[in-house]
Structure formats: structure tokens, C-alpha cells
């Protein structure tokens, strides 16, 4: 009996050692060993990137594939499988693939389990499943695709919310990391330098937006967007530095960078014909700068989806503790990231890239080499900015409010 137990433990130890060797090995060793979750992340990211490129090709260059597309039953001469509907069909195929992976890997907690092997391996089966699920939406009628387009608005909103919480959690973690250092004096200098740089970039960015996007007093909407962003930056700083909160000046500075960036993206999403958007008017013709901007925006979206997908811990609101209240350390055979959450983020990301490529409007044609352009896109960005500030402020004041409620309960 003891021999069997010893053999089992040695076998488990051997598997963990080989797993750790794969994790810490070179990229070549990780790629050569197809069944490991670290290389699987990049494989799924590559599939997502290819789906983005297919959706873009269906929108901008679908006419060249018109003769092939007309073979599908529900394409009606190709018009229902190109442009906006083409994007939605590719997006639906991508969504189906990651949603199936989400359902089949949800709750995976240990490595070397069957679901872990399914997530990290079985690539021959997935190379059949993914193209099949991509083709299926092209066989569906337009009514189902339009219904998916409406649902995708909600799914894209969920993705933005997840991304928002992930960004705020990272900023909070960075601040706690600096505060927990033993050599506080050296870290204090680093925090001061990073915060000062962030605030400087915020102010310069706001000034440039006034110059570029609010050239005269008639641009009231852009003036409101920029001025309100400045107010929100001051509000976050004031609350963070309040004696009861005492969150320091690093987190509001980094959050200021984030909201200024969102405001800039929102104003850039305004239609080209607007007189207040001089930068958009200058880039009205398709040139190398427009193409580079499109490619960078597409890659940034894929990278954002990838980085958010592996950040499942920011949604672990309650940490595992033992009977003494101490935090339980991760075991060697625990999965390195939440597989289900990873695929869920990519599934909602599939809806998000569809909304970017059609400008959040299923009835609005998009110009070639453009992404996330239109008034709907602008207001989605602005609301996302305001929501980011609300979530950040709530994370600052929530502990104080909950603490005061507990005190009132104990007193009564």
C-alpha cells in the first residue's frame, strides 16, 4: 500500500517537474511541447488575430471574393455576406469557437486533467472545429445575423467592462507594489517621477486636444468632452488625496492617463465630415499613415484581449484563506490562469472587434482602412470613460463606506 502511494506521489512529482521545465524553458521547447497552457495562449491569440483579419477582409475587400461567396445559399448575390454582415458572420464564427471552449474548460483547476489537455492540446481537432464554426454563419439567414449584431452590442459592452476592471486592478496592484517595498525612500522617488510624468502627459494631451479638436468656440461638444475630462482628472486626484482615503498620487495619475487616452480615442472616432475634427479631415485620404494607424489599432485590440484574458485574478474578489485567516498559497498543479475566463474574454472580444469594424452601427457602411468611426463609437468611448472614473472612485471610497456601516451595526 505504501509502495503504491509512493509510486503515485513520485509520478505526480515527476509530472510537476516536467511541467515546470516546460514553463521555464525556451520558446522553442514550449512550442515543441504542444500540450502546455503557456503556448496555448499564443495559439488562441493567433486564431483571434486571423479572425480579425478575415472580418476586415470581408468588409473592405469582399467584392473580390464575390464569385465564391455567391455559392452560399443565404448570400443573395453576395450582398448579405459582405460589408457589415460579412463582419458579423466572421465574428459569430469566432464567438462560437471561443464560447464552446469556454463551456468545455470552465472550472478547470488542476493541470494534467482531461480539460487541461483539451485546452492546451488537441490542436488537430481544433483546426477542424474552428474553420467549421467560421463557415456555419455564412449558411444562416440574415435575420439571425442581424439578431447576433444586436446581441453583440451587449457582449462588446461586457468586454469593455472586463477590460476596465482589469486596467484599474493593474494600476492598484502597481501602487501596492511600490508601497510594500522595504526601501521606501528609493521607491518614493520612483513614484514621484512616474506620477509627475503621467500628470504632465495628461495636461499636454488635453492642451493638444483643445488645439486639434476645438479650434473655435463653435465646437461645443468637443470642448465639453475635453473640459469634463479635465474635471474628472481633478476629481480623482482630490478624492485619492483625501485624508480618509489616502490612496496617494500615483493611481489617480495613471487613471488620468487612461481617461485622457479614452477621450482622445472618442473624439478621433467622430465622423470625418465634422469641421471640428481637423485631424480626421487631414487623414481623409487613404495613405500609409492611415494604414499604419489601422494596423496598430487592430494589433492593440488583439493584445488588449489577450492581456485581459489571462488576468482572471482581478475578478477573484475573495481570496482563499485557511482556518487562521492566512492566504492559501497556490499548489504546483494549479492551472496558471483561468481557462474558462480566458475563453470568455475572447468570446466577448469577438463581439467587440465586430463593433469596432462596423462602428457600432449595423446599418452604417465604413470607409476602407477605418476602425471605430462614427457618432455611436464616440459616445461608447465617452460613456466608457465616465464609467471608468465611477468604478475607480467607488474602489477608493467603498472600503470607507463599508467600514462605517460595520461600526454603525456594532454600535446598535
* Of residues 132, 102, 55, 147, the one with CA closest to residue 346: 102
- Domain limits of the chain? 34-318+333-405
Q: What is the pLDDT of residue 253?
A: 92
Q: Residue 301 in contact with residue 234, Cβ under 8 Å?
A: no
Distance from C-alpha of 47 to C-alpha of 94, rounded to nearest angstrom = 9
pTM: 0.78
R_g (Cα) of the chain, nearest Å? 25
Distance from C-alpha of 360 to C-alpha of 62, rounded to nearest angstrom = 20
Q: Residue 168 in contact with residue 388, Cβ under 8 Å?
A: yes
Say how many C-beta atoms besides its own lie within 10 A of residue 99's C-beta: 17
Distance from C-alpha of 344 to C-alpha of 353, rounded to nearest angstrom = 14
Q: Please state the three-class secondary structure of the chain as a single string.
A: CHHHHHHHHHHHHHHHHHHHHHHHCCHHHHHHCCCCHHHHHHHHHHHHHHHHHHHHHHHHCHHHHHHHHCCCCCCCCCCCCCHHHHHHHHHHHHHHHHHHHHHHHCCCCECCCHHHHHHHCCHHHHHHHHHHHHHHHHHCCHHHHHHHHHHHHHHHHHHHHHHHHHHHHHHHHHHHHHHCCCCHHHHHHHHHHHHHHHHHHHHHHHHHHHHHHCCCCCCHHHHHHHHHHHHHHHHHHHHHCCCCCCCCCHHHHHHHHHHHHHHHHHHHCCCCCCCCCHHHHHCCCCCHHHHHHHHHHHHHHHHHHHHHHCCHHHHCCCCCECCCCCECCCCCCECCCCHHHHHHHHHHHHHHHHHHHHCCCCCCCCCCCCCCCCHHHHHHHHHHHHHHHHHHHHHHHHHHHHHHHHHHHHHC
Distance from C-alpha of 260 to C-alpha of 117, rounded to nearest angstrom = 43
Say how many C-beta atoms besides its own lie within 10 A of residue 40's C-beta: 20
Tens-digit pLDDT string for the chain (412 aa): 444 444 444 445 555 555 555 555 555 555 555 567 778 888 898 999 999 889 888 887 765 554 555 555 555 545 555 677 888 999 999 999 999 999 998 888 777 788 888 888 888 889 999 999 999 998 888 899 889 989 999 999 998 888 888 888 888 877 777 766 555 556 677 788 888 999 999 999 999 999 888 888 888 999 999 999 999 999 999 999 988 888 888 899 999 999 999 999 899 888 866 567 665 555 555 556 556 766 777 777 777 777 776 666 655 545 554 455 454 555 666 777 888 888 999 999 999 989 888 888 877 666 776 777 788 889 999 999 999 999 999 988 888 888 887 777 776 6
Distance from C-alpha of 377 to C-alpha of 374, rounded to nearest angstrom = 5
Q: What is the pLDDT of residue 376?
A: 86
Q: What is the pLDDT of residue 302?
A: 79
Q: What is the pLDDT of residue 92?
A: 94
Q: Residue 264 in contact with residue 256, Cβ under 8 Å?
A: no
Q: Residue 166 in contact with residue 308, Cβ under 8 Å?
A: yes
Q: What is the pLDDT of residue 148?
A: 93
Amino acid at each position: 500500500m505504501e509502495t503504491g502511494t509512493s509510486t503515485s506521489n513520485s509520478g505526480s512529482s515527476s509530472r510537476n517537474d516536467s511541467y515546470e521545465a516546460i514553463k521555464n524553458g525556451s520558446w522553442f521547447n514550449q512550442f515543441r511541447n504542444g500540450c502546455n497552457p503557456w503556448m496555448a495562449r499564443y495559439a488562441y491569440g493567433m486564431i483571434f488575430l486571423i479572425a480579425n483579419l478575415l472580418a476586415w477582409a470581408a468588409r473592405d475587400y469582399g467584392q473580390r471574393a464575390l464569385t465564391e461567396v455567391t455559392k452560399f445559399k443565404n448570400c443573395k448575390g453576395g450582398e448579405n455576406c459582405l460589408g457589415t454582415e460579412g463582419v458579423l458572420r466572421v465574428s459569430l464564427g469566432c464567438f462560437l469557437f471561443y464560447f464552446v471552449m469556454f463551456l468545455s474548460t470552465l472550472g478547470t483547476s488542476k493541470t494534467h486533467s482531461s480539460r487541461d489537455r483539451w485546452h492546451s492540446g488537441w490542436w488537430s481537432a481544433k483546426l477542424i472545429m474552428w474553420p467549421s464554426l467560421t463557415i456555419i454563419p455564412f449558411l444562416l439567414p440574415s435575420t439571425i445575423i442581424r439578431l447576433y449584431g444586436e446581441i453583440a452590442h451587449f457582449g462588446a459592452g461586457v468586454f469593455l467592462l472586463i477590460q476596465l476592471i482589469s486596467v484599474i486592478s493593474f494600476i492598484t496592484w502597481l501602487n501596492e507594489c511600490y508601497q510594500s517595498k522595504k526601501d521606501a525612500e528609493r521607491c518614493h522617488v520612483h513614484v514621484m517621477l512616474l506620477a509627475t510624468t503621467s500628470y504632465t502627459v495628461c495636461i499636454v494631451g488635453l492642451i493638444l486636444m483643445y488645439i486639434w479638436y476645438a479650434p473655435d468656440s463653435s465646437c461645443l461638444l468637443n470642448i465639453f468632452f475635453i473640459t469634463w475630462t479635465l474635471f474628472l482628472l481633478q476629481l480623482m486626484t482630490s478624492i485619492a488625496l483625501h485624508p480618509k482615503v489616502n490612496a496617494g498620487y500615483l493611481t489617480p495619475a495613471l487613471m488620468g492617463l487612461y481617461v485622457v487616452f479614452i477621450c482622445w480615442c472618442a473624439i478621433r472616432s467622430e465622423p470625418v465630415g465634422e469641421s471640428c475634427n481637423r485631424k480626421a479631415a487631414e487623414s481623409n485620404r487613404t495613405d500609409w499613415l492611415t494604414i499604419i494607424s489601422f494596423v496598430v489599432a487592430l494589433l492593440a485590440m488583439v493584445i488588449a484581449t489577450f492581456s485581459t484574458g489571462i488576468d482572471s485574478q482581478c475578478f477573484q474578489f475573495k481570496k482563499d484563506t485557511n482556518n487562521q485567516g492566512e492566504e492559501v498559497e497556490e499548489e504546483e498543479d494549479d492551472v496558471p490562469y483561468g481557462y474558462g475566463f480566458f475563453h470568455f474574454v475572447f468570446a466577448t472580444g469577438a463581439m467587440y472587434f465586430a463593433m469596432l469594424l462596423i462602428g457600432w452601427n449595423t446599418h452604417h457602411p465604413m470607409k476602407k482602412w477605418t476602425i471605430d468611426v462614427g457618432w455611436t463609437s464616440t459616445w461608447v468611448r465617452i460613456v466608457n470613460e465616465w464609467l471608468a472614473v465611477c468604478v475607480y472612485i467607488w474602489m477608493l471610497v467603498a472600503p470607507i463606506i463599508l467600514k462605517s456601516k460595520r461600526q454603525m451595526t456594532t454600535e446598535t
